[in-house]
Structure 1
Amino acid sequence: MRKRNLTVFLSAATALLLVAPNLSTVASELTPPTISSGATAPVSGGQSQLVSFRQSASEMRMEGEDAVRELTFYLSPDQAATSGALRLSYTNAVSVLPDDATVDVELNGKPLSSFPIRSPHGPTTHDLPVAAKDLVTGWNTVRIRARQHHRIDCSIEASYELWSQFDTLVSGFVAGVPAKDGDLANLLSVGRNGDAATEIRLIAKSETAHAALRDSLPLMQTLALVLGRKDIVVSLGELEGTGPGIDVYVGDLDDADLPQSAHDALAGAPRGLSVRRGDAGRYAVTLRASGKAETQAFLLAAVNGPLQPLIRANKLAAARGIIDGNQPGTHELSEVGYRTTPFSGRLFQTSFDIVMPADLYPGDYATVDLHLNAATAPGLAAGTQILVRVNERAAASQILHDPEGVRLENKPLELPLRAFHPGVNHVRILAELPTSGDLACDPAARDESRSRFLLLQETTVKIPPLARAGRLPDLAAFAGKSFPFAGAGAFDIYVDAPTPARLGSALSVFARMAISAGHPLPAEVKIGRPDPAKTTGNVLVVNVDGGAMESAELVAPKGNRLHMAATDALVTASIGGTGPSSHSEALLNAFQVETQLEEDKLSAKSRITAWLSAAATTVNRWLTYREIGDDVHIETQDRLVSLTQSKVPDSDAVWTIVSATDEVSLSLGVAALTRPGTWTALEGEESVIRRSDLELVNRKPQAYSFFPITDTSPANLRRLAAAWLSDNFMIYVALVVFLMGGFGWWIGYTVPRKGVRTVE
């Protein structure tokens, strides 16, 4: 009955929250630092407030010679009516030449200011004064353009060494007045903690944390969805947290299971959902109600009331910068925020995201077509080309070298669908534009007034009709769309022990799933380990002590062969932590490596054997569509946390298991796993965070299973057949050979028996 009531409530809330997968603007109360631009931060009413940018740290990194980012922050009507200052704090790479490196800033489509990039040894902060007439209530957009060059190296490879990182903790908008206390819009005025994460902390006793979490689950999801941040972490404790974040209190004064800090917070709060601003950028969210029915009623009233305009604004903010691949269509780059801008450097780059449906079946039955409208200047050197990378893997290229320049009008570049996966796909367009003068590397001779390349914003991306069939296991669909948990059916979250660390880790993953799905998920937290014989639905399992869970052994993947998340990285680096699993084996391998013969001293037999082995490996990779890096080995002791997805045999149930060897590893691993850049890179059957460097490693499944096909139209069935044959290349070849052989046999059998007829 409890799960059914929860499902009914979440279904009602979903009608509003479905439109808003991403909403976040944060603020923390800070004393304005010394303003390097010489301006003075405006203060009204004796207090100012820093409203942080919505974007996470990875979205505030400027890479390359000419990088552009759009940042957003949210202002209340009172804050928008008062002048303030845009605060930008950054650190840049040592390789950036300070003589001509600059940042140009626009606010809401109007030029605001510029400043030099000269801070390689620590952060530098600039406050740029903003008049009230240039602000708007709700979302404000800041467009930052960083132009930077290398100090001593003018090669294209050196362009990858150029970066400027803006600080998410310090950067933002210094509002002249703080947000009004008691207004639920204050949820948009919460800052990040020292780990650059948005913390939501549930205040509860350790011994009753499970019961408190059960009653607070709808509220925790609502907070995550209203904030919409991709860097949310959840914690539990009896005392409020420190620094910027949100403390959540749920219950009433007659609840003896609440800690004293929760009683104190609820005593000063009105009945229903409210927010109160505390010290050091900390906010207290209270949901004072008696019983589960009243708790749900108050929360639903807030979703239908004061939270509704925030949700609507969130829908508009979330739609910018992405291409929806759910339906076939053509999209211009202008739709994702790109502007036509002449480029005079050596390596042009721009990027955007394509969000594919959860039931995408990638294969070689179609392509995503990029129609280029671009031009190059005369005099570029050999090697001038356009490269397109999908999920950091090379997908297509086009040679542009012509002494007289090249003009492209709707030039198609076909991006194979196999390069895409369900969920978020990052597409990057690069143009390598060398000249003979780059070899001299003389900054004084560089002519920035003469452009080398122009990519028009009328360049289009065409999404084809897609084959639709849900595949499992597929962590890309899980991370991108919370598949298969985003359906209407309720599911269980199993935590093997009700400790704050384990429950907090489970909630951090669950909050990230809700944001990916874009709506509340009907789930219930249970303590213990699921029984495969009795568990019929989908489950999320959080388990400490790894493979010791007996029920997980039925569905957990075997083997230890993994591949790096970015198998075709821009800069190649050695992979650590790949040593043998035993001390004796390590000594043996080290001895063989030390004493092995050089290649020119090997016998002919050894050379032929090595060549045949390499050729067989290459052919096998080609037939199975595997890439170099797919067989990276990772030691058991180097596994910080693993995320595994498997389908239960003889059932449609899917188990997604998060496991670690201890609670410390679980907390650290889940924090790394749910980072924005890492979460969108999940794919395959198993994802592991390495202890040595906190990097992601993925393992592809040996085979897929499919959910029941919902689209049985002839067109979809035809695409599915083509996709399946492209995955099973040998069957396709055998079928062609069989048909050709059958036709030849028919000709050889029929013609002799029909004889020859002479026509007179």
Structure 2
Amino acid sequence: MPFLPRSSRTLVRMLAVAAIAAGGGLAAHAQNAAPFQISPSEAPGAMRQQGPGTSGSNTGGSGQSSGAQFSSPSAGSGSRGGTGASGGQGQPAFGSSVSQTADQFFGAGPQSSQTASPQSIDQPQPDASQASQPFSMGGASGQSQPSGTVQPFAGSQPLPSAGGQTRNPTLPSIDTLLDPQNAQPWLPQNQQGGQQQQQQPVQIETGDELNALNRFFEDNTGRRTMHVSLNALQGELPAVDRPIVPYPQLRLEGEDDFQSWTIYLSAAQAARRSTLSIAFTNSVLVLPEASELRVFLNTQEILTTTIDSPDDTKVVAVPLEPDMVRPGANAIRIEVDQRHRIDCSIGATYELWTRIEPRLTGLSFSGGDVPLQSLAELPAVGVDTTGATRIRVLQGPSMSVQSQDLIIRAVQTMAVRGRFEHPLVEILTPGMPAPPQPGVVNLVIGTYDEIGNLVRGVPSDARSTSVVTLQDRPDIGPTVFVTAPDTRGLDVSLKRLGAEIDPISRISPIAATPPWNAPGAIEIDGAQRVTLREAGVFTEEFSGRRFQTHFQIKLPPDFFAAAYGQATIELDAAYTPAVLPGSRLNVYVNDVLATALSFTAADGRVFTKFPVRILLKNFRPGVNDIRIQVNLRTESDELCLPGGTVSTEQRFVLFNTTEFVFPAFARIGRVPDLASFSADGFPYSIDDRPVAVRVSGDSRDTLGATATLLARLATARGSSFNTVAVDSVANLVGRPAIVVGSFGEVPPLVLQRTRVDRSIPGSWLSPRATASRGEPQGLSQYDQVLQRLRAQTRQRDALRNRNVDVEEFSDTGDLATDERIQTRDLYERWRGEVDEGISLSSLIEDFQSWFHRQFDVSFGFLTARETDDGSNVISDQATLVVAQATAPQSEDQAWTLVTAPNPALLSAGMAALSAERQWNRLGGRLTAFELDDDSVDTFPAESPVFIVTQPLSFENMRLIAANWFSLNNGIYAIVLIAAAVALGFATHSVIRPMGRKP
């Protein structure tokens, strides 16, 4: 089947569906109730309620729609493991290039061959009609329907499509395709010559069809495949019970790529039968006959499917038995093996990509989502469809400094205890909706009298003692109560919240430390050797053109080796004689090319501990991503004969005995340095001294952004900070402090100390900087920006696919053009054409530039001034600024400021910046972030203050001096010349009296 042409495979699939569905019929939906309205009586079995304004998949009544196409198991998908009626294990796919990846860590597991059938899922829904108490949507929990029945979604009136037209009557209902026993093959009306045209995705436009989509994910009787159109969809699909992708977007690129992480399950979740769904879209240039996507769960391969969905989103659902998962951490790995359709060049490999759709990728449990039972199961909250875990703080209308202090301390502890890699904090006040949603946990904190009238179900024991408990409520979801009879008892409750009673973390040490990938980043504190096997990279054979693999290391916040020393990769690898000289091995550190070498032998070579050196200046404190890439040139690829894009012979192998050798490095902290700040909150993490936190302004978005920042720092550190909320600027002087607020509400002393007042763009001072009343606020604005970026990505990919004519396409260079290179070339041309005039200063500048190029010696210290910032160093499009400076009257302490034009942008920008990819790009004394395009600009510190963090031994002092002189090599050159002159004079004065006199 994988070797058949695409048209033939489509014909076979449709004939198979026709044979299965011979006695079926199409089901019509003609109910006329209002769409997307959940009434209390229809809550059981209905679609899971979404957040405000989403209403299922109809976002704010915009009328945009999606479509779906279902393939039964018997139709086949071209995957390596067959899922047809025979259930036999298939042969490896043609052109598989990572045949050794799973030998030692991931073993192939059996695949189910059962037939799919819809299954009832009865889930309690909140009663929207009762709202007598804030944050309590009534006590209705819903009753289960009999097995095999589903309460219809309220309203089956066809929804308008994206273009304002009603549903196409020729498209069948999706639930007729979900049950192979009742399905009929659908043929378009425009058939030519009796030939069947390829099926189009079935549009999901009614409430019944959305319920059927839910049943598709909740059914765990066998493997199913569905194709869904998401191009016009702006809202969130109410599909999986538990999203699992911990990133806002996940894209696997090149001929082979992978991503791995951990998901946490409670004991009840692990014991429940479930379905895992993986949804993806790929480039049109991916050759489906030779391209596969594989999924591994806890060392077992559970899914292999063909990458063949360039026009829509392919969703593959596989059942999971309880013995396939475990309570606590479960390792999941998604990898792709892709080949180009018609181009054999190395440049063409950059056009291969597969994008995972987070909204449709996750777990659905038999019988509905499983409630959490205790605080020990807090990590099982998981993530939402944006890859973050949201902590909703249910707070009263008044927010005093004392309540701010309690919230900031509590969210830190929850983020660390729950292992929330990307925590987002949202403050809700009475009257705001708080529906249960995946990846969301509520926090209610205060005395019993304060919260007794705020939320129902407060533990009655809090009248007399300190209480910390988790309740999974059907109306608002999992909720952590931190309460006591008085304010003194709240401190005891907070200590109990942070107590070490987490059995989940002791079951599996896979994700013991941040960032909790699988395996996690290797922590390096000094000279150390690490094999690729220990870093999670395995021996891999490769038959393509561009091999790549990656791993992560984590360096301490006082890492000081920006211009001294080098790390080494002792390479154990080999390539065949088919590889031509000039092939290259590149090593990237944090997406920047760090080193490169060329293969010179024409008859192949086996490398044994071959040194590949990487300068330490490429590394930074915190998490560093290291990617090894090998570009292989062969004669057959240059000829690129028909069928030449798929090679059957292995060309390269990387052995997991390859070692990464990191040398000893200097250990001393610097302030300001936002890279160290992002690593673990340095310098606030040096000791347990109190950190003053100033929330500038009374907006709930400002408090949410402050809590998000501290929670993110706590997860990076692995423990919470000793924070104290203050309301006066006088309480900041002489002590470490963190200030968060909109620009107009930040105290002038903080702006002047961090020099932000001389760096902000003029647009921040305009009236437009204030958020309008109709503008979405806080995390709602972040969600809309993320949805817009996703939609733009899908539109660009779809446009690119349509513009590529696979039959006539011969040159792929235009698709690989980097706009940044064009911009840089244009800038250099204009700079060369514009006559700046000749002056003494320009001559000195040219001489310094020439001297630096020739001898790598810089005299920038002669002209650097700490106050010479200019007024336009930050882009006008910047929406968030993080700046750091030494504290006044105490230069061994730091002040850190986070500000934005208004509270809404502050909350949204902090949510985006705290994601892993952007968070690890913080650096220098100031970082500017643009929300719309996720760009980060950093500005280095001119004269940092050094803070001793390690004993000043001779070895450490030597390394510190070597790195400092390397950074200031102009001073080193002057000192060296002065020492030589002094030595000459001393030698002359000593030798002269010893000479002969006439």
TM range (shorter): 0.7 to 0.9
1:737 aligns with 2:927: no
SS at match of 1:444: coil
Identify if the C-alpha distance between structure 1 residues 716 and 618 changes in structure 2 by more than 3 Å, giving closer, same or farther: same
1:353 aligns with 2:552: yes
Q: Is contact 1:41–1:129 with CA below 8 Å preserved after alignment?
A: no
Report the CA distance between 1:636 and its aligned residue. 5.2
2:407 to 216, 225, 230: 216
Report the CA distance between 1:298 and its aligned residue. 3.8
Partner of 2:374: 183
Q: Is contact 1:577–1:634 with CA below 8 Å preserved after alignment?
A: no
Identify if the C-alpha distance between structure 1 residues 92 and 241 changes in structure 2 by more than 3 Å, giving closer, same or farther: farther
Question: Which deviations, in whole Å up to 9, do the C-alpha atoms of 1:591-617 show, x marking residues without a partner?
Answer: x999x8996xx99998x9999966744
Report the CA distance between 1:709 and its aligned residue. 5.1
SS at match of 1:540: strand
Question: Which deviations, in whole Å up to 9, do the C-alpha atoms of 1:253-296 show, x marking residues without a partner?
Answer: 422xx495x33242689872232334599322222422234334
Question: 1-side partners of 2:251 and 2:486: how far apart?
Answer: 46
1:706 to 943, 946, 967: 946
Q: Which residue type is aligned with residue 819 of structure 2?
A: A
Q: Which runs of 5+ in 2 are unaligned?
A: 1-47, 51-55, 57-67, 74-114, 124-217, 219-239, 514-518, 762-815, 861-868
2:259 to 69, 72, 78: 69
Identify if the C-alpha distance between structure 1 residues 610 and 731 changes in structure 2 by more than 3 Å, giving closer, same or farther: closer
Partner of 2:742: 544
1:640 aligns with 2:879: yes
Report the CA distance between 1:202 and its aligned residue. 0.6
2:434 to 215, 225, 241: 241
Partner of 2:337: 147
1:292 to 487, 494, 505: 487
Question: 2-side partners of 1:645 and 1:251: how far apart?
Answer: 33
Partner of 1:555: 753
Q: Which runs of 5+ in 1 are unaligned?
A: 1-27, 563-569, 579-589
Identity level (%): 25
Identify if the C-alpha distance between structure 1 residues 344 and 561 changes in structure 2 by more than 3 Å, giving closer, same or farther: farther
Q: Which residue type is aligned with residue 415 of structure 2?
A: A
Report the CA distance between 1:46 and its aligned residue. 5.9
Question: 2-side partners of 1:542 and 1:603: how far apart?
Answer: 45
Q: Which residue type is aligned with residue 136 of structure 1?
A: R
Question: 1-side partners of 2:831 and 2:372: how far apart?
Answer: 75
Question: 1-side partners of 2:908 and 2:616: how far apart?
Answer: 35
Question: 2-side partners of 1:326 and 1:597: how far apart?
Answer: 44
SS at match of 1:294: helix
1:93 aligns with 2:283: yes
Partner of 2:455: 263
Q: Is contact 1:42–1:85 with CA below 8 Å preserved after alignment?
A: no
Report the CA distance between 1:357 and its aligned residue. 0.8
1:466 to 649, 657, 665: 665
Report the CA distance between 1:409 and its aligned residue. 0.9
Q: Is contact 2:637–2:644 with CA below 8 Å preserved after alignment?
A: no
Q: Is contact 2:523–2:555 with CA below 8 Å preserved after alignment?
A: yes
Report the CA distance between 1:432 and its aligned residue. 1.2
Q: Which residue type is aligned with residue 248 of structure 1?
A: L
Identify if the C-alpha distance between structure 1 residues 687 and 635 changes in structure 2 by more than 3 Å, giving closer, same or farther: closer
Please, what TM-score do these two structures have when normalized by structure 1?
A: 0.82
Report the CA distance between 1:351 and its aligned residue. 1.4
Report the CA distance between 1:182 and its aligned residue. 3.3
1:410 aligns with 2:609: yes
1:501 to 687, 701, 705: 701
SS at match of 1:327: coil
Q: Is contact 2:759–2:870 with CA below 8 Å preserved after alignment?
A: no
Report the CA distance between 1:347 and its aligned residue. 1.3
Q: Is contact 2:563–2:616 with CA below 8 Å preserved after alignment?
A: yes
Report the CA distance between 1:465 and its aligned residue. 1.7
Question: 2-side partners of 1:499 and 1:82: how far apart?
Answer: 42
1:112 aligns with 2:302: yes
Report the CA distance between 1:247 and its aligned residue. 1.8
Report the CA distance between 1:52 and its aligned residue. 3.5
Partner of 2:504: 310
Identify if the C-alpha distance between structure 1 residues 299 and 176 changes in structure 2 by more than 3 Å, giving closer, same or farther: farther
Q: Is contact 2:246–2:383 with CA below 8 Å preserved after alignment?
A: no
Report the CA distance between 1:655 and its aligned residue. 0.6
693-702 or 441-450, which deviates more: 441-450
1:283 to 474, 478, 495: 478
Report the CA distance between 1:126 and its aligned residue. 0.9
Partner of 1:483: 682
Structure showing the higher strand proportion among its residues: 1
Identify if the C-alpha distance between structure 1 residues 714 and 443 changes in structure 2 by more than 3 Å, giving closer, same or farther: farther
Question: 1-side partners of 2:968 and 2:946: how far apart?
Answer: 15
Identify if the C-alpha distance between structure 1 residues 633 and 417 changes in structure 2 by more than 3 Å, giving closer, same or farther: farther
Q: Is contact 2:575–2:605 with CA below 8 Å preserved after alignment?
A: yes
SS at match of 1:664: helix
Q: Is contact 1:96–1:151 with CA below 8 Å preserved after alignment?
A: yes
Q: Is contact 1:80–1:137 with CA below 8 Å preserved after alignment?
A: yes
Report the CA distance between 1:158 and its aligned residue. 3.1
Q: Is contact 2:245–2:387 with CA below 8 Å preserved after alignment?
A: no
1:662 to 866, 881, 902: 902
Q: Which residue type is aligned with residue 637 of structure 1?
A: D
Report the CA distance between 1:356 and its aligned residue. 0.8
Report the CA distance between 1:551 and its aligned residue. 0.7
Q: Is contact 1:29–1:50 with CA below 8 Å preserved after alignment?
A: no
Question: 1-side partners of 2:456 and 2:279: how far apart?
Answer: 37
469-478 or 644-653, which deviates more: 644-653
Identify if the C-alpha distance between structure 1 residues 35 and 557 changes in structure 2 by more than 3 Å, giving closer, same or farther: farther
Indicate the structure (1 or 2) with the bigger Cα radius of gyration.
2
Question: 2-side partners of 1:110 and 1:314: how far apart?
Answer: 16
Partner of 2:769: none
SS at match of 1:342: strand
Q: Is contact 2:882–2:926 with CA below 8 Å preserved after alignment?
A: yes
Identify if the C-alpha distance between structure 1 residues 297 and 413 changes in structure 2 by more than 3 Å, giving closer, same or farther: same
Report the CA distance between 1:677 and its aligned residue. 0.4
697-706 or 141-150, which deviates more: 141-150
Question: 2-side partners of 1:611 and 1:343: how far apart?
Answer: 53
Question: 2-side partners of 1:695 and 1:79: how far apart?
Answer: 39
Q: Which residue type is aligned with residue 544 of structure 1?
A: S
Identify if the C-alpha distance between structure 1 residues 723 and 519 changes in structure 2 by more than 3 Å, giving closer, same or farther: same
Please, what TM-score do these two structures have when normalized by structure 2?
A: 0.64
Partner of 1:422: 621
Identify if the C-alpha distance between structure 1 residues 289 and 479 changes in structure 2 by more than 3 Å, giving closer, same or farther: same
SS at match of 1:638: coil
Report the CA distance between 1:482 and its aligned residue. 0.8
Question: 1-side partners of 2:822 and 2:456: how far apart?
Answer: 51
Question: Which deviations, in whole Å up to 9, do the C-alpha atoms of 1:108-161 show, x marking residues without a partner?
Answer: 222323101122333221112233333323222223220112344433233233
Question: 2-side partners of 1:225 and 1:236: how far apart?
Answer: 19
SS at match of 1:286: strand
Partner of 2:326: 136
Question: 2-side partners of 1:644 and 1:415: how far apart?
Answer: 30
1:207 aligns with 2:398: yes
1:718 to 949, 958, 965: 958
Question: Which deviations, in whole Å up to 9, do the C-alpha atoms of 1:335-377 show, x marking residues without a partner?
Answer: 1211111011211111122111111111444222211111112
1:157 aligns with 2:340: no
Question: 2-side partners of 1:440 and 1:593: how far apart?
Answer: 36
SS at match of 1:732: helix
Q: Which residue type is aligned with residue 545 of structure 1?
A: F
Question: 2-side partners of 1:577 and 1:525: how far apart?
Answer: 46
Identify if the C-alpha distance between structure 1 residues 668 and 624 changes in structure 2 by more than 3 Å, giving closer, same or farther: farther
Identify if the C-alpha distance between structure 1 residues 61 and 461 changes in structure 2 by more than 3 Å, giving closer, same or farther: same
Q: Which residue type is aligned with residue 593 of structure 2?
A: A
SS at match of 1:702: coil
Question: Which deviations, in whole Å up to 9, do the C-alpha atoms of 1:569-592 show, x marking residues without a partner?
Answer: x984339999xxxxxxxxxxx9x9
Give the 5 Å matches for 1:359-398.
359-398=558-597
Report the CA distance between 1:751 and its aligned residue. 4.2
Partner of 2:923: 683
Partner of 2:531: 332
Q: Is contact 1:98–1:116 with CA below 8 Å preserved after alignment?
A: yes
Identify if the C-alpha distance between structure 1 residues 605 and 663 changes in structure 2 by more than 3 Å, giving closer, same or farther: closer
Question: 2-side partners of 1:153 and 1:377: how far apart?
Answer: 22
